[in-house]
Amino acid sequence: MSGRLADLSGPTITDAIGTDSVVLLPVGAIEQHGPHLPLSVDAVIAEEVASALLTAVGDEVDLWLLPTLAVSKSNEHAWSPGTLWLSSETMLRVLDDIATCVATTPARRLVFLNAHGGNTSLLSVACRDIRVKHDLLTFLVHPSLPPASGGTSTEEEFGMGIHGGLNETSVFAHLRPGEANMDLAVRRVPDWMAGNTSVRFGGPVQFGWTSRDFGPDGHIGDPTGANPELGRELFDAAVAGLAEQIHEIAGFDFRA
């Protein structure tokens, strides 16, 4: 049995959810994505990917979706009015509270499905903290690994299309036809970093940054060629990749 935890009634939880259940928290963001996209992009992607994943593997894996956590750690966009964000301290506490609630069910596996690169480091920390404190098996997965965390973006973006660039804009255009304003899409790639071997997105030196550090528009990448067909390909590939990962997660346990 699979589904959405919030659709169950209280007394049925312990029948529906068992020790083999995988509980998954989609994590999005409400943050500026440049002039061509709405704030909701990461929340939309997290929700839609999680729904498609449930459809794809729900018959084979005992998968339960939690409601999408739409507001998360987006303080790299705090300069932009309207961006909603949690501090790292608050977000760790929110995740710990959610884990406390999950631990009241028989489920032992908690997966964070993260669609916002700014959360990746903190969710890794939460995975260990929750493992220690609640004795849950914890996992962090991404629709696509953020370029700043070792993932890739296009050569034309020098691998630095990390926010509102070609891929993300395409996926959003696929999921919400007509809602990306392509008239306002402009190239904003930090070409000046492209020659760096170390201090760059995806390089071995990590650095603190805000999206305002790269210009007033707020996106980092080149969305000008974005199109829904590419978005559909990327979305389908992401769901297929996650389906494999969830299968392995469902069977994973430690052997001491």
Q: Verify binding: residue 42, Zn ion, rule CB under 5 A.
A: yes
Tell me the site size for Zn ion, rule CB under 5 A: 2
**Stretch touching Zn ion by CB under 5 A, among 40-48, 74-82, 92-100, 229-237:** 40-48
Kindly state the tokens that stand for 102.
Answer: 């999950």
**Stretch touching Zn ion by CB under 5 A, among 35-43, 118-126, 130-138, 186-194:** 35-43
- The sign one gets for the Cα dihedral 134, 104, 242, 36 is negative
Cβ-based nearer residue to Zn ion, 118 or 242: 118
- Gap between the Cα atoms of 88 and 120, Å rounded: 11
Q: Verify binding: residue 157, Zn ion, rule CB under 5 A.
A: no
Q: Is 230 exposed, middle or buried (0-12, 13-18, 19+ CB in 10 A)?
A: middle
**Stretch touching Zn ion by CB under 5 A, among 38-46, 59-67, 130-138, 149-157:** 38-46
Identify the CA nearest to 28 among candidates 64, 65, 74, 63: 74
Cβ-based nearer residue to Zn ion, 72 or 138: 72
Cβ-based nearer residue to Zn ion, 21 or 147: 147
Q: Verify binding: residue 47, Zn ion, rule CB under 5 A.
A: no
Closest distance between Zn ion and the C-beta of residue 251, in Å?
Answer: 31
Closest distance between Zn ion and the C-beta of residue 186, in Å?
Answer: 17
- Gap between the Cα atoms of 41 and 143, Å rounded: 13
- Gap between the Cα atoms of 21 and 54, Å rounded: 13
Closest distance between Zn ion and the C-beta of residue 71, in Å?
Answer: 13
Closest distance between Zn ion and the C-beta of residue 39, in Å?
Answer: 10
- Gap between the Cα atoms of 117 and 123, Å rounded: 10
Structure letter (DSSP) for residue 114: E
Footprint of Zn ion (CB under 5 A): 41-42
